[in-house]
Amino acid sequence: MKINIKQKVNLKNKKDVDSTGHLIIVLPMTSGTRRWPSFPYADTLRQRLARTGKKTGDEYILSTDLPNPDGTYVTLAHLKQDASCYERLTLARRLVNLQLERNPRTIACLLPAFDRDSGRRIAEAIVAAALASTAAMPDYSSTKKPQPRLNTIHFYGLEDTPAFTRTIAEAEGNNLARHLTSLPPNELTPANYRQRINALAREHGWQMQFLDIKALKRKQAGAFLAVAQGSAEQDAGIVHLTYKPKGRDQQTSLSLVGKGICYDTGGMNLKPAKHMHGMHEDMEGSAVALGTLLALTRLQVPFRVDCWLALAQNHIGPGAYKQNDVVTACNGTTIEIMHTDAEGRMVLADTLSLATAEKSTMIIDYATLTGSCIYALSTRYSGVFTNLDDWIPVLIAAGRDSGERVWPFPIDRDFDKALESTIADIKQCTLEGDADHILAARFLSRFIDDTPWVHVDLSAGNHKGGLAHIPTDITGFGVRFTLDLVLDKQVMTSL
């Protein structure tokens, strides 16, 4: 859904407000005794707030209809001037969703008394929340919910209103990631997924190559093939997409790598029903990589972007791989299989090796990889790992400034002791599960050589009730984080 964003003059009198059917007001949080900024109906709203028992410094949202002919519906809140991006996005979702319950076509937003930068940041959060909440997600129920009608947001009280091109691109990428991840597993098989990707590639001018089972056998990609061999349908493979800026220097390149396990049974080490439910979301890493590619394409970034998507299913069957198998990845590393439900690191091993062979300037991979990362961080943060210590504070800052919060974990070499095998170069994992998210990262580091690398373990890929501005359990986490990292933090130009 497209939303028109318009700058308006200030709401100067009650007639201006009376012509507005839906109004969001955000005020700076101050002490309870300080005067509110002057705007129409301020006294009415202050009195109604007082009747609730809340104070200006409290955390609250006042929802009320104004005493005017059309009963303008107002959602009002105070926000700290130094609120974090996550706090702004969270408040924006609450304000927007209260308005959307009445299905408006237009929402007006009044942001008086904020300084220029603070006002623009709040406006950006409202736009992001509106785009997330109005995006159409898969719906197979016989009684479908009506789609939101919202198509215009008017901003009042800002010195200027930017076009929010970056916010719109990020939202489009996130909406794509959430939509794909929400599709049921009988709808999004590797073959059907590839068809959708092919359509996107034609639409956006991406080069596309598909390495099927035969091609991967020629490349001796034994780690990926071990996982794929359990499926009756031989539709698994690795998609390679490329965005090239027109007329620009393409020496600098970013590789995005995504785990695309369209369904994960656990393989021979079969998951119980409770843990198998929702395993169609195990391809979210690939959807985030694809959504990030879309956002960067929309912004016409001046560097090449490659996107590698490992598409497969982890099925159980006579041909499925099993514990104690030894397979060889395409970079020559031999791997002893310890647990067939650690399939994500297997498909990523060969995919990372192929991306590394292209001599990328930087690699970022995304995967719903380990339960231990959720145990460590909950589903509010995602875990990050890097082979460059100097990037650790940069990663934290990118998470904080984008509202998609991350926390780094160690990746010291002595963790390799736990992955020593008596029969192969490395164990796939351990059976104890101790610090599995760290061991998984150490395993993956075997396949990226010395390329600057960030691994994102998507523990925040699904958060009950949504996260920040995202209203759905499936969050599509990672698009905003990545754009902040590679654009605002300029890590691409620092390499």
Query: Among all chains, which residue has been given the structure tokens 């407000």?
Result: 17
Distance CA 341, CA 270 (A): 8
> Three-state SS for 377?
helix
Structure tokens at 303: 């560097």
Cβ contacts of 289 within 8 Å, gap of 6 or more: 256, 257, 258, 307, 308, 309, 364, 365, 366
Radius of gyration of the chain (CA): 24
Crossing angle for the helix pair 284-298 and 165-182, to the nearest 10 degrees: 150
- Could you list the active site residues? 271, 345
At what angle are helices 284-298 and 190-204 packed, to 10 degrees? 10
Q: Are 415 and 435 in contact (CB under 8 A)?
A: yes
Taking Cα atoms as reference points, which of 311, 339, 341, 319 lies closest to residue 430?
339
Placement of tokens 């709808």 in the chain: 187
Distance (Å, whole) CA 238 – CA 261: 11
The answer to whether 300 and 248 are in contact (CB under 8 A) is: no
Q: Which two tokens stand for residue 174?
A: 């996130």
Query: Which residue stretches of 156-283 are H helix?
Result: 165-182, 190-204, 213-218, 222-228, 273-276
Q: CA geometry: angle at 169 spanning 204 and 369, to 5°?
A: 90
Count Cβ atoms below 10 Å from residue 462 Cβ, excluding itself.
21
